[in-house]
């Protein structure tokens, strides 16, 4: 009886130890998972779009801000790089997906640079032309925080292994076809990473648009149809030329006959190259009597003459899609006009003043233009 009692006690003790061990392992696993999830932040994008929308990403962005604040010293010292992995698989071609993934990664990095003061050197970026666990439009930000047991001698080795891993699967991009080809990988039970295109290589293939056609809808609304073109010399400099023409009415009733040329040289600034400043000028001729849109001018007085101006411009291009954007701009400078004023009596033009001059400092132009970009669109 004593033997059976001792055996029962030992079995009960072993069962209790196993139960406690399993519970501890489960708790440890849950803790590890929680730690890992706290170090990985996922941002979602609309299919095919590059713009980083805060809607739906607010919680993850705040969590990333908190992680950066908690580990700022390690990040800025270069001991803890911020890994930015961008995925896109919602566009037709691999090149489009890679370019979009590259742009998305830049959007997320720009957020951390502008809001948290990080630098480009603090990031390690990878761009993929495939889905991430069946999600086609994601940017995954990872902070690989070393455990408390890791020593300073082992950390560089671990980091080196992680950095070298993607290089074994790097893509070869042919210059002639600019087509990304994935390198075959060995069979493995681990999910294979997609072909990786480095940020520098994508920069070589992705350039700002080379040519754009535009119309100033603000002038169009005032019955002065405008058509323009822009040649983007490089990422920073563009040359624009707009032409406006209206030819309404006749010589004895309402008249609006005008033409105007408006050249401009632009310098695109900041990280995304959408804000710009420029130097512009205009020259044109006009013949207006009883303006077509109403009483903007004196009812019984017409004006005929020439005008020119020169000044500085400032503007911003708001992207709508990969090929379309809206250009907002305003110009300030000097304007001079030489004109004759007249009235019409019984169908006969009677001149009231001749060789008059009007000059002033102030607005020289304004625009809300719809822009269609052609060639190497980055939007």
Q: Is the pLDDT of residue 376 over 70?
A: no
Phi-psi region of 105 (alpha: psi -120 to 50; beta: other; left: phi over 0): alpha
Per the CB < 8 A criterion, the answer to whether 332 and 311 are in contact is yes
- HSE-CB for 230 with a 13 A CA cutoff: 29
Q: Is the pLDDT of residue 217 over 50?
A: yes
**Distance (Å, whole) CA 217 – CA 220:** 5
* Residue 97 and residue 129 in contact, taking contact as beta carbons nearer than 8 Å: yes
In percent, the amount of the chain with pLDDT more than 70 equals 69
Please enumerate in sequence order all residues whose Cβ is within 8 A of that of 214, keeping only pairs 6 or more positions apart, or say none: 227, 228, 229, 230, 240, 242, 327, 369, 370, 371, 372
Q: What is the CATH number of domain 211-374?
A: 2.40.160.20
Supply the pLDDT for residue 161. Answer: 38
- Tell me what pLDDT residue 180 has: 42
* pLDDT score, position 329: 96
User: Angle at CA 219, nearest 5°, toward 216 and 221?
Assistant: 110
Q: How confident is residue 80, by pLDDT bands cut at 50, 70 and 90?
A: confident
pLDDT digits over 290-303, tens only?
Answer: 765 555 555 678 88
- With 80 as the cut, is the pLDDT of residue 268 above it? yes
Give Cα 126 distance to the centre of its chain: 18
Q: What is the percent of the chain with per-residue pLDDT over 90, rounded to a whole number?
A: 35
Q: What is the pLDDT of residues 324-365, one digit of tens each?
A: 999 999 999 999 999 998 888 777 788 888 889 999 999 999
When pLDDT is cut at 50, 70 and 90, the band that residue 207 belongs to is low
Average pLDDT, integer, range 269-283: 93
What residues pair up with 371 in beta bridges, in sequence order? 214, 325
The Cα diameter of the chain in Å comes to: 136
Query: Poorest-confidence range of 67-76, 167-176, 322-331?
Result: 167-176
Cβ-contact 327, 313 below 8 angstroms:
no
Cβ count near 7 (within 10 Å): 10
DSSP state of 376: S
- 9 vs 2: CA distance, rounded Å: 10
Confidence of residue 198 (pLDDT cuts 50, 70, 90): very low
Residue 366 has pLDDT above 90, yes or no: yes
Instruction: Please determine, for residue 162, whether its predicted confidence score (pLDDT) is greater than 60.
Output: no
What's the pLDDT score for residue 225? 94
What is the residue whose two structure tokens read 């609309």?
A: 46
In this structure, what token pair is assigned to residue 273?
A: 């190259």
Q: Among 58-72, 128-142, 183-197, 213-227, name the most confident range.
A: 213-227
Residue 147 CA, chain-centre distance (Å), reads: 36
pTM of the prediction? 0.48
The structural domains of the chain, with segments of one domain joined by +, span 36-205, 211-374
Q: Which helix (H) or strand (E) holds 37?
A: helix 2-38
**Around Cβ 379, how many Cβ atoms within 10 Å?**
20
Q: Rounded to an integer, what is the distance from CA 18 to the centroid of its chain? A: 56
How do beta strands 226-232 and 211-216 pair? Answer: antiparallel
- Dihedral sign for Cα 13, 14, 16, 17, please: positive
Average pLDDT of the chain is: 77
Q: What CATH number was assigned to the domain covering residues 36-205?
A: 3.30.1330.60
Q: Is residue 167 predicted with pLDDT exceeding 90?
A: no
Q: Of 294 and 322, which is predicted with more confidence?
A: 322
Beta strands in 71-216 (DSSP E): 82-88, 123-128, 137-143, 172-173, 180-181, 196-197, 211-216
CA distances from 118 to 81, 122, 138, 156 (A): 11, 7, 21, 22
């Amino acid at each position: 009886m004593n033997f059976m009692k001792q055996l029962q006690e030992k079995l009960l003790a072993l069962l209790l130890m196993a139960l406690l061990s399993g519970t501890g392992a489960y708790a440890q696993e849950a803790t590890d998972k929680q730690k890992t999830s706290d170090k990985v932040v996922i941002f979602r994008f609309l299919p095919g779009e590059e713009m980083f929308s805060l809607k739906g990403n607010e919680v993850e962005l705040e969590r990333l801000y908190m992680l950066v604040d908690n580990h700022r010293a390690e990040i800025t010292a270069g001991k803890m790089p911020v890994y930015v992995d961008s995925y896109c698989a919602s566009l037709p071609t691999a090149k489009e997906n890679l370019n979009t993934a590259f742009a998305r990664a830049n959007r997320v990095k720009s957020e951390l640079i502008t809001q948290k003061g990080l630098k480009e050197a603090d990031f390690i970026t990878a761009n993929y032309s495939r889905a991430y666990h069946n999600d086609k439009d994601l940017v995954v930000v990872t902070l690989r925080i070393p455990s408390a047991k890791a020593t300073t001698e082992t950390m560089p080795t671990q980091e080196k292994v992680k950095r070298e891993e993607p290089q074994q699967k790097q893509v070869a991009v042919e210059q002639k076809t600019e087509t990304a080809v994935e390198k075959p990988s060995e069979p493995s039970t681990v999910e294979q990473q997609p072909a990786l295109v480095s940020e520098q290589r994508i920069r070589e293939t992705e350039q700002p648009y080379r040519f754009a056609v535009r119309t100033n809808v603000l002038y169009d609304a005032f019955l002065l149809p405008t058509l323009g073109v822009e040649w983007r010399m490089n990422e920073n400099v563009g040359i624009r030329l707009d032409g406006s023409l209206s030819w309404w009415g006749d010589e004895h009733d309402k008249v609006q006959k005008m033409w105007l040329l408006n050249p401009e040289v632009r310098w695109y600034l900041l990280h995304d190259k959408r804000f710009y400043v420029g130097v512009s000028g205009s020259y044109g001729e006009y013949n207006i009597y009883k303006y077509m849109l109403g009483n903007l001018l004196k009812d019984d007085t017409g004006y005929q003459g020439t005008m020119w101006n020169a000044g500085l411009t400032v503007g911003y291009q708001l992207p709508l899609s990969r090929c379309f954007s809206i250009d907002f701009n305003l110009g300030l400078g000097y304007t001079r006009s030489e004109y004759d004023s007249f009235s019409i009596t019984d169908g006969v033009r009677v001149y009231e003043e001749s060789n008059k001059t009007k000059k002033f400092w102030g607005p020289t132009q304004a625009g809300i233009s719809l822009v269609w970009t052609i060639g190497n669109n980055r939007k």
